C-alpha cells in the first residue's frame, strides 16, 4: 500500500493528476490517464478476448468480442459513496455491456470479465462469427495458430443453431505480389484496412456492401504492394490472408519456430524462423517494442532464407591442382596456417564482415592484431540509399556495422578496402583472408583475384569467390549461429541458432520440430542435410591455435563474457540479460529500458 501511494504521488508530480485505479474482476489495477479497459487489463496480465483490437492500430470496435460489464461506485445525495451491510462499496453496473477496447477507464471503475452476461455475449458473438465461416481448417494455412480456432474452443458454446446454406464469397483474391485474400474466411475485423492506412501508409483497402455480404476490396486500379504488405497476414486473426510464398508448404504444428535477428539491414528486427526438415520455410516478425514493435518488411521475409537453404558450402575444402576437395576441419585449418606462415603480415589483407557477430569480429580483430600482428584489417560497407524508408528499413544492409566498428575492424592505419585493388596490383598484398561473401562493393576486386597468391574464404554459399579460393571454410549462417549484433541505435541484441548442424546438434533437440526430432530413419522428412559448418569465431580460434594462441572458448557466451569483462561499453551485459530486456544499449547495461509486456496478436494458448 505504501509503495502504491508513493507511486501515485510520483505520477501526480509528473502529470498533475493522481494515477487512476480500477478493479477488474475484483483485482485492483494501476492505470494511466486515457487508457482503455483492454489496455489496462493486458498490462496487468488479464486477458480479454478480442479480434479487432491491436495496440498499434486505431480502435474500431468491430468484433464486439471484448464486451464486459462496467460499473462505478454508487453515490448518495450528499456525494458520499454508498456501502452495503458489510461495509463494501455498492457498484452500479451499466444496463448494457461495453466494449473494453473503446471504453476509457475512470478512477474507481469496476469491470467484470467473467460474469454470466459476459460469457453469454462471448458465446453469442462466436456463434454469429461462425455462421458463415467455411470449414476450411483442414486446408487452411492458419490452422494450428488461428485465433478463431482458439476462441471457438475457449469462448464458444460449441454448437450452432444455423441450418441454412452458408453465404459464399470470392476466394483466392490477389491483393498484390505477396498476399492472397479469401473473403469467405474474413470476419471483418478491419485490422488489415487500418494497417494499410496507418502503418504502411497505403490506403487502398475498404469495406464494401452491408450485412452478411460485407467484404474487403482494393480500390479500383490499385494493388496492396507496400514493402510491409505481409504484416497483414500476421495480424489477421483468421486464415483470410495468406502468404503466396508459404501457402500450403507445411502445417505449423510440424514446424519449429525459434527467435532470431533479421540480418537484412541494421535495424535488427526480431524474427521467428519457421523450420521443418532443417530448412527455413518462412520468417515471421517477433515483437520487440524497442526495435521493430510487431512489424517486418517483406524483403526480410522473402530474400534471406533462400540463401540459407540452397547452394550451401557444407564442409571445408582446399584446392588441389585447381580442384576444390572436401577435407576434415583439422586438415583445412593446418593447410591454411602453413600457407599463411609463408607470407609477411604486411602481405596479408584481412576483410571482416558486418554480417558477422560481435563474437566473430572480436576474435578476428584479436587474431589479426595480436597473433598475426598486422593492421591490414577492414570491412566492406553495404549501403543502398533506395532501400531506406521511414518505418524500419535502413540504408545499411548489414546487421552489425556498429559491431565491426566497435571491435576495430576498420579505421586501421594500413591497407583499407578502398586501396586494396591498387595494393594487389603492386604486389604489396599477396594473400586475402575474407569473411564477407559479397565483394562486389569493392570496385575491380573480382578482376584482381587471380593475381593473388593465396585466398582463404569463410563462405556460406558457393560463388565465384569460392571457386577461386585456395581454402574454403564452411561458415555457419546466422540461422545456425549464436551471438550478438549491434543495431543502428547501438542496441546489443542476442540471437541463437535455429537450424541444426553437426556442430550444434547436441543441444538443438528442444528447438527442433517434432518431425525432425522424432522421425525415424526411413521417414522422408528426416532426410535433411546436416552441414559440417562452424561459426566464424570457432574457425578463427582453431586457426589462431595453430599459431600457439591457446584460446579455449567453448561457446559464443564464453567469448561474449570476455568482451563484457574487457570493454567498458559492454560492462554488465550477458546473454541472459540481453534476452530478458530484449537488448541493451551500449554503455547502458545498468540503465536498461523499462520492461514492458509484449503483445502477441494470436496464438493457441495451452492451459
**What digits encode the pLDDT tens for the residues 116-141?**
999 999 999 999 999 999 989 999 99
Q: What is the spatial distance between Cα 360 and Cα 556, in angstroms, rounded to a whole number?
A: 9
Which pLDDT does position 99 carry in this prediction?
97
CB neighbourhood size of 29 (10 A) = 21
Lowest mean pLDDT among 15-24, 79-88, 441-450: 15-24
Q: What is the spatial distance between Cα 299 and Cα 579, in angstroms, rounded to a whole number?
A: 25
Please say if the pLDDT value at position 607 is more than 50.
Answer: no
What does DSSP assign to residue 284?
E
The answer to whether the beta carbons of residues 318 and 331 sit under 8 Å apart is: yes
**What angle do the packed helices 358-366 and 556-566 form, to 10 degrees?**
70
Please say if the pLDDT value at position 222 is more than 60.
Answer: yes
Give the CB-side neighbour count of residue 591, counting CA atoms within 13 A: 5
Q: What is the spatial distance between Cα 128 and Cα 161, in angstroms, rounded to a whole number?
A: 10
Give the CB-side neighbour count of residue 228, counting CA atoms within 13 A: 23
Phi then psi for residue 335, to 5 deg, are -65, -45
Question: Mean pLDDT across the chain, nearest whole number?
Answer: 91
pTM over 0.75: yes
The answer to whether the beta carbons of residues 100 and 41 sit under 8 Å apart is: yes
Q: Coil, strand or helix: which one is 192?
A: helix
State the residue for C-alpha cell 476466394: 171
Please say if the pLDDT value at position 324 is more than 80.
Answer: yes
pLDDT tier for residue 303 given thresholds of 50, 70 and 90:
very high
pLDDT exceeding 90 applies to what percent of the chain? 74
**What digits encode the pLDDT tens for the residues 35-57?**
999 999 999 989 999 999 999 99
CATH 3.40.50.740 fits 317-479, yes or no: yes
Lowest mean pLDDT among 21-30, 154-163, 189-198: 154-163
Radius of gyration of the chain (CA): 29
**DSSP states of 365-420 as a string?**
HHIIIIII----EEE---B-GGG--SSS--SB-SS-HHHHHHTTSS--SS--GGGH
State the residue for C-alpha cell 469462448: 155
Q: How far is CA 171 from the centre of its chain?
A: 30
89 Cβ partners below 8 Å, 6+ apart?
73, 74, 81, 82, 83
**What digits encode the pLDDT tens for the residues 434-445?**
999 888 888 888
Which pLDDT does position 338 carry in this prediction?
96
Helices and strands (H, E) in the chain, number of each type = 18, 24
Q: What is the spatial distance between Cα 377 and Cα 407, in angstroms, rounded to a whole number?
A: 11
Q: In the 3-class helix/strand/coil scheme, how is 124-170 assigned residue by residue?
A: HHHHHHHCCCCCCHHHCCCCCCCHHHHHHHHCCCCCCCCCCCCCCCC
Which contacts (CB < 8 Å, 24+ apart) does range 76-85 have? Answer: none
Q: What is the spatial distance between Cα 512 and Cα 509, in angstroms, rounded to a whole number?
A: 5
The answer to whether the beta carbons of residues 528 and 516 sit under 8 Å apart is: yes
Which pLDDT does position 33 carry in this prediction?
86
Given 3.30.420.10, 3.40.50.2020, 3.30.70.20, 3.30.310.160, which CATH number is that of 163-248? Answer: 3.30.70.20
Q: How far is CA 508 from the centre of its chain?
A: 19
Domain boundaries, the chain: 2-126, 163-248, 317-479
Which pLDDT does position 18 carry in this prediction?
64
**What digits encode the pLDDT tens for the residues 451-510?**
899 999 999 999 999 999 999 999 999 999 999 999 999 999 999 999 999 999 888 888
Q: In the 3-class helix/strand/coil scheme, how is 470-508 assigned residue by residue?
A: CEEEEECCHHHCCEEEECCCCEEEEECCCCCCCCCHHHC
Sheet of strand 491-495: strand arrangement:
483-486, 491-495, 584-585
Lowest mean pLDDT among 411-415, 593-597, 601-605: 601-605
Q: Could you give the C-alpha distances from 36 to 104, 315, 398, in angstroms and in order?
A: 4, 56, 40
Please say if the pLDDT value at position 15 is more than 60.
Answer: no
The answer to whether the beta carbons of residues 475 and 313 sit under 8 Å apart is: yes
Which pLDDT does position 444 carry in this prediction?
86
H/E element holding 421?
helix 420-425
Q: Coil, strand or helix: which one is 454?
A: strand
Lowest mean pLDDT among 166-170, 264-268, 288-292, 319-323: 319-323
The residue with greater pLDDT, 535 or 511, is 535
The answer to whether the beta carbons of residues 113 and 46 sit under 8 Å apart is: yes
The answer to whether the beta carbons of residues 22 and 104 sit under 8 Å apart is: no
**What digits encode the pLDDT tens for the residues 557-582?**
999 999 999 999 999 999 999 999 99
Q: What is the spatial distance between Cα 57 and Cα 12, in angstroms, rounded to a whole number?
A: 28
Given 3.30.930.10, 3.40.50.2000, 3.40.50.880, 3.10.20.740, which CATH number is that of 2-126? Answer: 3.10.20.740
Amino acid at each position: 500500500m505504501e509503495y502504491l501511494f508513493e507511486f501515485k504521488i510520483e505520477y501526480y508530480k509528473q502529470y498533475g493528476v493522481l494515477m487512476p485505479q480500477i478493479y477488474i474482476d475484483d483485482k485492483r489495477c494501476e492505470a494511466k490517464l486515457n487508457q482503455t479497459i483492454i489496455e489496462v487489463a493486458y498490462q496487468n496480465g488479464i486477458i480479454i478476448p478480442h479480434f479487432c483490437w491491436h495496440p498499434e492500430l486505431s480502435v474500431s470496435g468491430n468484433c464486439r468480442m471484448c464486451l464486459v460489464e462496467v460499473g462505478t461506485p454508487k453515490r448518495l445525495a450528499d456525494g458520499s459513496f454508498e456501502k452495503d451491510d458489510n461495509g463494501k462499496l455498492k457498484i452500479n453496473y451499466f444496463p448494457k455491456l461495453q466494449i473494453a477496447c473503446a471504453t476509457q477507464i475512470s478512477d474507481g471503475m469496476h469491470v467484470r470479465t467473467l460474469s454470466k452476461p459476459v460469457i453469454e455475449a462471448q458465446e453469442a458473438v462466436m456463434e454469429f462469427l461462425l455462421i458463415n465461416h467455411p470449414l476450411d481448417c483442414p486446408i487452411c494455412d492458419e490452422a494450428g495458430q488461428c485465433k478463431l480456432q482458439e476462441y471457438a474452443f475457449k469462448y464458444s458454446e460449441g454448437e450452432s443453431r444455423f441450418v441454412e446454406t452458408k453465404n459464399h464469397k470470392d476466394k483466392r483474391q490477389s491483393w498484390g505480389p505477396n498476399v492472397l485474400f479469401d473473403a469467405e474466411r474474413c470476419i471483418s475485423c478491419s485490422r488489415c484496412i487500418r494497417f494499410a492506412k496507418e502503418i504502411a501508409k497505403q490506403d487502398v483497402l475498404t469495406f464494401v456492401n452491408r450485412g452478411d455480404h460485407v467484404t474487403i476490396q482494393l480500390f479500383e486500379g490499385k494493388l496492396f504492394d507496400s514493402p510491409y504488405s505481409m504484416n497483414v497476414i500476421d495480424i489477421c486473426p483468421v486464415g483470410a490472408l495468406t502468404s503466396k510464398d508459404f501457402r500450403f508448404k507445411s502445417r505449423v504444428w510440424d514446424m519449429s519456430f525459434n527467435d532470431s535477428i533479421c540480418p537484412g539491414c541494421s535495424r535488427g528486427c526480431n524474427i521467428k524462423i519457421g523450420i521443418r526438415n532443417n530448412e527455413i520455410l518462412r520468417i515471421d516478425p517477433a515483437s520487440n517494442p524497442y526495435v521493430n514493435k510487431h512489424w517486418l518488411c517483406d524483403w526480410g521475409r522473402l530474400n534471406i532464407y533462400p540463401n540459407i537453404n540452397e547452394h550451401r558450402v557444407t564442409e571445408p575444402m582446399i584446392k588441389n591442382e585447381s580442384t576444390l576437395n572436401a577435407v576434415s576441419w583439422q586438415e583445412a585449418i593446418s593447410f591454411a596456417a602453413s600457407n599463411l606462415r609463408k607470407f609477411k603480415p604486411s602481405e596479408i589483407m584481412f576483410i571482416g564482415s558486418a554480417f558477422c557477430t560481435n563474437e566473430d569480429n572480436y576474435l578476428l580483430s584479436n587474431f589479426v592484431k595480436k597473433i598475426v600482428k598486422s593492421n591490414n584489417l577492414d570491412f566492406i560497407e553495404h549501403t543502398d540509399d533506395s532501400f531506406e524508408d521511414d518505418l524500419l528499413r535502413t540504408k545499411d544492409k548489414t546487421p552489425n556495422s556498429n559491431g565491426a566498428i566497435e571491435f576495430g575492424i576498420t579505421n586501421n592505419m594500413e591497407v583499407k578496402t578502398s586501396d586494396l585493388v591498387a595494393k594487389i596490383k603492386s604486389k604489396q598484398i599477396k594473400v586475402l583472408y575474407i569473411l564477407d561473401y559479397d565483394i562486389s562493393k569493392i570496385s575491380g576486386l573480382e578482376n584482381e583475384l587471380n593475381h593473388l597468391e593465396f585466398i582463404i574464404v569463410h563462405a556460406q554459399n558457393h560463388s565465384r569467390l569460392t571457386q577461386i579460393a585456395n581454402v574454403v571454410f564452411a561458415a555457419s549462417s546466422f540461422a545456425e549461429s549464436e551471438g550478438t549484433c549491434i543495431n543502428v541505435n547501438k542496441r546489443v541484441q542476442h540471437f541463437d541458432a535455429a537450424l541444426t548442424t553437426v556442430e550444434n546438434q547436441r543441444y538443438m533437440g528442444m528447438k527442433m520440430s517434432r518431425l525432425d526430432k522424432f522421425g525415424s530413419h526411413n521417414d522422408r522428412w528426416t532426410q535433411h542435410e546436416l552441414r559440417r559448418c562452424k561459426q566464424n569465431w570457432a574457425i578463427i580460434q582453431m586457426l589462431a591455435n595453430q599459431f600457439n594462441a591457446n584460446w579455449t572458448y567453448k561457446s559464443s557466451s564464453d567469448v561474449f563474457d570476455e568482451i563484457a569483462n574487457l570493454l567498458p561499453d559492454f560492462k554488465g551485459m550477458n546473454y541472459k540479460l540481453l534476452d530478458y530486456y530484449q537488448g541493451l544499449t551500449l554503455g547502458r547495461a545498468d540503465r536498461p529500458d523499462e520492461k514492458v509486456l509484449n503483445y502477441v496478436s494470436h496464438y493457441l494458448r495451452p492451459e
